[in-house]
Homo-oligomer: A and B are copies of this chain.
């Protein structure tokens, strides 16, 4: 548990008091299997549709399309279609994704840590 500075008490009332509603709100927008992965993948520089589909192993075109639309609607993702060439579309992240930075970082760190632990590589 030395992986970084943690408070020595449980995450009890003080920090959590109103967290139920907040967590609910957050999960409503960025919950689900793909939302954060799509954001992360675009952040990694995959900004074409098929590129994203390849990066996100397992996602279908239908679902990716839906996720992108949803993320665009919620102001996380931009879609720029080259007017000259309709088969040239670029996805990007908006500034609002900045606000998710901490969530993305902590979740990634935890996932890495947990993954190692589960696979016994500790």
Contact = CB atoms under 8 A, between A and B. Distances in A.
Contacts of A84: none
A103 interface: yes
Given A20-B37, A21-B111, 16 more contacts: A6-B98, A11-B40, A11-B104, A13-B44, A13-B45, A16-B108, A18-B108, A20-B41, A20-B56, A24-B37, A25-B115, A27-B107, A27-B111, A99-B110, A102-B110, A103-B106
Contacts of A104: 11, 15-16, 19, 23
A20 B97 CA distance: 16
Given A13-B45, A36-B23, A102 B97 contact: no
A112 interface: yes
A82 interface: no
